Structures are given as structure tokens and as C-alpha cells.
């Protein structure tokens, strides 16, 4: 397809900001819709090169689609804790808004609509070893958690909308790791790095017995681009798993520890074998390679080393800042909102507020 303007919903986020950079490098024009819950730090190197609209994906003006040739929807709440904290908002953003945006695209003649889903849809837990199997895009799934169910429901809606005039593509991403200027330390590999750099320890919940499919954030961005640039007939109404490999968290911890040693960070591994409600799933990544020839390239070790170097270079060492942890930040914003509704501006008097 020609290099046109792409709308990134949630384009200032952890993945979205990296995707925006990758698209700009390829000559695309970028329009971003983002509420900026986490500020515009993710766009710090490209802010003057993107068309940013600050807004809520649940209340979109049709003009946002002007001159847009494709939409990549990365918006909404992005993990289990935030979804469970406010299931209503989670469903509104992850499911209802996904449908509304797709309907608006279809009405405006925008055919390519790529949706950020999640491999957590495959979760089978750790208590049922007989169900611990490698799953692919045809596997029978029954997600129950608020986050994964909202994603799955959105998938069903989009697939039912597919026709010759509308090309939805669904990417079920594995657990992402790596550096982004909209940094997150609440993702397992990044959490390991944070813990090692602050305490000298890596903590393995449930002994690290659970499985995860993982992928570096830059490879995730390239996966989106592969789906964006693919022939329509190859991707219309298709689901693709996007991951580098499946790995037990215990092995991930060992590989992170070895990589950290290469950048001067020594750490111990501390397993905790008490039972906790944990997710576990393994997925096949063969379809994306078979259909589009796409293969992630960045190893766990490369991702960790790059992460540490950039944390040091850019000064992302205020590890306990809540802005790096989705649920902590959301709770803090909610609490601040409640207080400010009562007090008004922190420094202005009530008279100044009224005059303004």
C-alpha cells in the first residue's frame, strides 16, 4: 500500500510511541489520538513530527479520520490490574470503543483496521497441567478475566464486520519487554530489570513455573507494520499471534540475570513457591511467519542489555515513580481528581479560579 497517513489510537503509549517512530522512519505521516494519561513523554523525540489530538477514544469526532488511510487501535486499558480496578471503563474502551471506531472507519471508507489484542486470551492457569498445551489462532478459548474477555469480545465484533470493504486484522501480542520513553516497569522482564537495579534480587512468584510468550517492543511495532503493509487478501479477518518465543518465567529470570551481568548488574534469584493466582499460557507464532514471512529478531538478552543502557542514558532510574506502573498511576490520578474537584487549583485561590 502507499505510504499514507496512519491514525494510531493510543499512539503515545508504551507500544504506540515506538510504533510511531518506526512508521515515521518508513515515511508514513502519523496522526495520534491519545488522552495522555501518562503525558506525552513517549513522543519526546518525535513530537514535532506527528499530528497529536488529545482526546478520549470513547468520544471521537469523525474529523479525526480526515486524510487517514488506515487505523491501528492500541488504545484502552492494557493489563489485568487496571481492567479489574474499573471493569466498566475497561469494557467501554477495549470493546465498545473498538467497535465504534471500526464502524466509523467503515463509514468513512477506511479499510485497514488493526487491533491490539492479547495472548492473555489463551490463559489456562497453572493448576491444570493437562491443559498446558501449545495454542494457536484456531484454539478454543474461554477468557474470563475482565481484560482478556474485553479483548476477545472486541475480536468477535471485528471479525463479524469483515467484508470486501473492511479489512480488520487482529494481533494477539505476547508479554512485551524493552525500552520505551513511555516506560513501564510493570511488565515481567522490565520488572526483573527494575528489581535487579534497585534491590539486587529477582523475585519469582510461584517459583516461576508459569509460561509466557514474550516479545520486544520494537519487534511488536514491526509486527504491526507487517500487517499494515501486507496484501489485503492475506490479512482480512485474520488473527495473528505475535511473539518471539514461549518461556517459563524461571528460565526468563536466569537469562535476564546473565544479560544483566554483561552490563555490570549482579543479582540473585529468589523464588517464592506459595500459590498465587497467576496466568500461564504458550502460543504458536508460526502463522505470522507462514502468512507474512515475519519473524521477531530481538533476543531476550539483547532486549535487556538495550533496556539497561537506555535507562542509564535517559535517566529513567526513578523506578518507584508511579507513572511507570499502570495501576498505581491510574489510582493516583483518580485520587487526585477527587481531591481537585473539592479544592480546585493547588495554588490559585478560589477567587482567582472564578475570575479565570
Q: Which of 80-89, 186-195, 235-244, 248-257 is predicted with the least confidence, judged by mean pLDDT?
A: 80-89
pLDDT beyond 90 at 352: no
pLDDT beyond 90 at 277: no
Q: Which of 74-78, 248-252, 303-307, 323-327 is predicted with the least confidence, judged by mean pLDDT?
A: 74-78
Mean model confidence pLDDT for the chain = 93
Write b or e for each residue in 34-59: b if 16 or more Cβ atoms lie within 10 A of its Cβ, otherwise e: bbbebebbbbeebeeebebbeeebee
- Judge whether 113 and 172 are in contact, CB under 8 Å: no
Burial of residue 167 (number of CB atoms within 10 Å: 0-12, 13-18, 19+): buried
Calpha distance 173→120 (Å, rounded): 8
Ordered by start, the domain boundaries in the chain are: 5-330
- Judge whether 114 and 169 are in contact, CB under 8 Å: yes
pLDDT higher for 330 or 221?
221
Per-residue confidence at 355, pLDDT binned at 50, 70, 90? low
Q: So what's the architecture of 5-330 in CATH? A: 3-Layer(aba) Sandwich (3.40)
What cell does 7 get? 491514525
Percent of the chain whose predicted confidence (pLDDT) is above 70:
94
Calpha distance 308→37 (Å, rounded): 25
pLDDT of residue 273: 82
For the stretch 325-328, contacts whose Cβ atoms lie closer than 8 Å and that sit 24 or more positions apart, written own/partner, are 325/184, 325/185, 325/186, 326/77, 326/78, 326/79, 326/81, 326/82, 326/184, 326/186, 327/79, 327/81, 327/82, 327/85, 327/186
Q: In Å, what is the CA distance from 248 to each residue of 24, 174, 189?
A: 35, 13, 12
In degrees and rounded to multiples of 5, residue 352 shows phi and psi of -65, -40
Calpha distance 214→252 (Å, rounded): 10
Per-residue confidence at 182, pLDDT binned at 50, 70, 90? very high
Amino acid at each position: 500500500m502507499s505510504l499514507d497517513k496512519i491514525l494510531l489510537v493510543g499512539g503515545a503509549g508504551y507500544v504506540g510511541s515506538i510504533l510511531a517512530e518506526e512508521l515515521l522512519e518508513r515515511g508514513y505521516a502519523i496522526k495520534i489520538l491519545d488522552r495522555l494519561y501518562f503525558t506525552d513523554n513517549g513522543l519526546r523525540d518525535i513530537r514535532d513530527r506527528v499530528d497529536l489530538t488529545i482526546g478520549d477514544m470513547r468520544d471521537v469526532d469523525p474529523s479525526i479520520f480526515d486524510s487517514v488511510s488506515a487505523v491501528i487501535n492500541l488504545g484502552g486499558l492494557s493489563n489485568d490490574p487496571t481492567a479489574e480496578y474499573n471493569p466498566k471503563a475497561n469494557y467501554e474502551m477495549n470493546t465498545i470503543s473498538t467497535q465504534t471506531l471500526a464502524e466509523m472507519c467503515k463509514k468513512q471508507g477506511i479499510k485497514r483496521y488493526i487491533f491490539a489484542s492479547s495472548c492473555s486470551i489463551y490463559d489456562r492457569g497453572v493448576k491444570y497441567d493437562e491443559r498446558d498445551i501449545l495454542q494457536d489462532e484456531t484454539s478454543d478459548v474461554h477468557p474470563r478475566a475482565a481484560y482478556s474477555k474485553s479483548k476477545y469480545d472486541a475480536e468477535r465484533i471485528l471479525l463479524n464486520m469483515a467484508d470486501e470493504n473492511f479489512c480488520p486484522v487482529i494481533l494477539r501480542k505476547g508479554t512485551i519487554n524493552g525500552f520505551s520513553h513511555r516506560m513501564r516497569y510493570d511488565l515481567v522482564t522490565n520488572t526483573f530489570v527494575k528489581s535487579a537495579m534497585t534491590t539486587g534480587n529477582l523475585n519469582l512468584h510461584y517459583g516461576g513455573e508459569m509460561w509466557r510468550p514474550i516479545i520486544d517492543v520494537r519487534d511488536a511495532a514491526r509486527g504491526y507494520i507487517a500487517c499494515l503493509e501486507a496484501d489485503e487478501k492475506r490479512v482480512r479477518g485474520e488473527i495473528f499471534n505475535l511473539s518471539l518465543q514461549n518461556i517459563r518465567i524461571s528460565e526468563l529470570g536466569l537469562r535476564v540475570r546473565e544479560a544483566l551481568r554483561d552490563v555490570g548488574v549482579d543479582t540473585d534469584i529468589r523464588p517464592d513457591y506459595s500459590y498465587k493466582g497467576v496466568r500461564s499460557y504458550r502460543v504458536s507464532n508460526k502463522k505470522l511467519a507462514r502468512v507474512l514471512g515475519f519473524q521477531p529478531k530481538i533476543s531476550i538478552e539483547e532486549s535487556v542489555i538495550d533496556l539497561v543502557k537506555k535507562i542509564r542514558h535517559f535517566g529513567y532510574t526513578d523506578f518507584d515513580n508511579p507513572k511507570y506502573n499502570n495501576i498505581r498511576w491510574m489510582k493516583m490520578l483518580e485520587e487526585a481528581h477527587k481531591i481537585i474537584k473539592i479544592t480546585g487549583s493547588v495554588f490559585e485561590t478560589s477567587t482567582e479560579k472564578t475570575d479565570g
